[in-house]
Structures are given as C-alpha cells and as structure tokens.
Amino acid sequence: MRARTRPDAAIELDGLGKVYGRGEKAFAAVKPTTLSVPWGQVIGLLGPNGAGKTTTIKMLGGLVTPSSGTIRLGGHDVARDRSNAVRQIGAVLEGSRNVYWPMSAWENLMYFGRLKGLRGGEIKPRARRLLTELGLWERRNETVSSFSRGMQQKVAVSAALITDPPILLLDEPTLGLDVEAARTFKDWIAHLAADEGKTIVLTTHQLEVAQELSDRIAVIKEGEIIADLPTAELLARHAEDRFEVRVATGSLDVLARVLPDGATTEPHDDETRVTLRDTDEDTLYALLAQLRAAGAPLVSVARAQPSLEEVFLRLIHADDDSVGDDDRVGDDGANQPTQAKETTS
C-alpha cells in the first residue's frame, strides 16, 4: 500500500458557508469562503462582534454543521472522515467551559487524553510536560475551580494539546487575562508555532495580540473575508509617511497655535503626542522650528506606522468599494476563492 502523503495545506476551506435559520429568517453568518492555511502558519481571524469568527472556528472543529462547502484538516474531510479530521485539531473555544472545574488539572488532562483515545501510559508524560511548561506542575492536584482565569485557560489549552494535534484553534485565548498571564500565554503560543510547528487559527479582539502572534491576518466582516494577507504585508500596504512628535505637557497653548492641518494630539502622562499623518519632512521641520521658537520642550521625534488596530478599523469601516484588491494577495491560480476574494496560499 502506498504511504499517505501529507497534503500541502493544514486547513483547506472550499466554499465554506453557514446559514442560520430558514426561509425569511435565514441569515448567512458565514458567506461561502475559500481559504488555505499552510502547515505551521499562525493565522489571525479578526472581525467585529457577530462577524462570523466563532461560527467559522466551530465549523472547523466539527461543532457546527456547514450549510455549504467543505473543510479538510490535514487532508481529512470533516464531513466524510470526521474522526481522522477532528484528530488533527485541538480547540479552545471562547466563553465555553473547555475543562471540568470540579476536577484537578491532572484529572482533566487524563480525562481528555482518554476521551481522545490515548492510553494512560501515553497521556502521563505529555500531561507532565504540558503542566510543567505552563508552570502548573506543582498545583496539578488542585481543582480547576480554585484556579485563576489565566491558570484555567492554561489547563484548557493543555487539554486541547494532550493528543499533540498539529492544528490548534484558539478563540479569544487571552481574554480576561492580566498583563503577566497574557504575556506568558502569548510567549507559549509563539513557542508552539515556532518550535513545535503547530498551525494555529487565532481569533481575538486584542489586536496587539494578533499583530504579535499572527503570520497572516484575515479580516472578516458580515461573514465575508474582506482582507487576507501576511501581517507584515497588510501593514506595509497601509504604511504612510507619519511622524510622532512628543512635547512636554505644558506646551498645549503653543501646540494649539502651531499645529498643521490634519495633525492630532493625544495626552500621555506628562507629555503630549502629536501625530502628523501622511505628511512630508518639510511639514515636520516647520513644526519643530515653531516649537523651538516658542520654547516648547521637545521629548522625542520618530517615524511611526499605523498599528494593526488602525488598519483593522480602516478596513471594517471602509465602504465595500473602497476596500481594494490591495488587501488581498494576487491569485496564484491555486487558491481562487468562490467570492472573487483572493487569499494567500
């Protein structure tokens, strides 16, 4: 028998769509979408509330039945070869209780390992490694209900990873975590992608998290992908000549007199940040000269770029016509979506 070869893509969506309700009440939560995610890629799925992110993730995880199209996970069709397809993924869903709170962290991992068909001898070393990596080993016998939100989230991701699946679906993984817990989590997700080659689909409203972790960003609005590019390329396409000038607070009256058109100011602790968008160096130097003449203390001057948050807001607030093909990579013939939206391959 010929050995099964690994397909090129970890995730392949072909015309995937979901309509909730029937007849007059029918509502397309996800419009037919075609998308291919290569192995080892971290893709951030971003969109406003109700855009269709969770529905997409749930369809990937086999928890919501699509109304149209197909999903292949590691080459296995979720509808036709469900058990092999679902074995490819670990999922942590937003808001759901992904683990059992009355059980300890250790018991949860043993339970989920067995549920997914592993033997005790296989589960134990993995559970030990996961709990150790996440700093929970010492507290493994305590019930999950006694854990902080961040620790519960760590147990949930460990449970999702107990079978060592190549694909991880993370719906709002850092929601509700404090700064330190979110940092640990982000570092760990980055490690899973970089060192263990996991393919990760990430949804989040925390755009700095998406920017930090995602190789690629897909923006979904009203069930439709309106942008899909490598993160760096998406940011580069929205780059502009922008300068940020910081002056010590106390210079506000001076600023009010000398600010060029279109400049914005934002107070920040004991300084004011002035942003000059889409501008040139002449405008910058003219402003600096006026600040100097007025004796306003300068803190710093730097070139700046729009953040992913700004780009995202531009995209979702743009009229349909003004979101150009610029935000979708050109078709290479291998990945032509059904809605004439072009995606990365």
Ligand X SMILES: Nc1ncnc2c1ncn2[C@@H]1O[C@H](COP(=O)(O)OP(=O)(O)OP(=O)(O)O)[C@@H](O)[C@H]1O
Phi, psi of 68 (to 5 degrees): -150, 160
Q: Among 17, 32, 44, 52, which residue sits at the site for ligand X (rule: CB under 6 A)?
A: 52
Closest among 215, 210, 145 to 182, alpha carbons compared: 210
Residue 283 burial (CB count, 10 A):
17
Binding segment for ligand X (CB under 6 A), chosen from 4-12, 44-52, 269-277, 284-292, is: 44-52
Q: What single-letter DSSP state applies at residue 87? A: T
Binding flag, residue 54, ligand X (CB under 6 A): yes
Binding flag, residue 55, ligand X (CB under 6 A): yes
Q: Among 17, 34, 46, 53, which residue sits at the site for ligand X (rule: CB under 6 A)?
A: 53
Residues 6+ apart with CB under 8 A from 42: 189, 193, 199, 200, 202, 213, 214, 215, 216
Binding segment for ligand X (CB under 6 A), chosen from 50-58, 140-148, 231-239, 257-265, is: 50-58
Q: Among 47, 61, 113, 166, which residue sits at the site for ligand X (rule: CB under 6 A)?
A: 47
Binding flag, residue 49, ligand X (CB under 6 A): yes
- Give dist(CA 329, CA 43) in Å, integer: 15
Q: If residue 96 lies in a helix (H) or strand (E), which one and from where to where?
A: none
Q: Is 168 helix (H, G, I), strand (E, B) or coil?
A: strand
Interaction mask 6-25, ligand X, x per CB under 6 A: --------------x-----
Binding segment for ligand X (CB under 6 A), chosen from 42-50, 303-311, 317-325, 337-345, is: 42-50
Binding flag, residue 101, ligand X (CB under 6 A): no
Residues 6+ apart with CB under 8 A from 172: 94, 95, 203, 204, 205
Q: Among 9, 10, 29, 329, which residue sits at the site for ligand X (rule: CB under 6 A)?
A: 29
Binding flag, residue 50, ligand X (CB under 6 A): yes
Binding site for ligand X (CB under 6 A): 20, 29, 47, 49-55
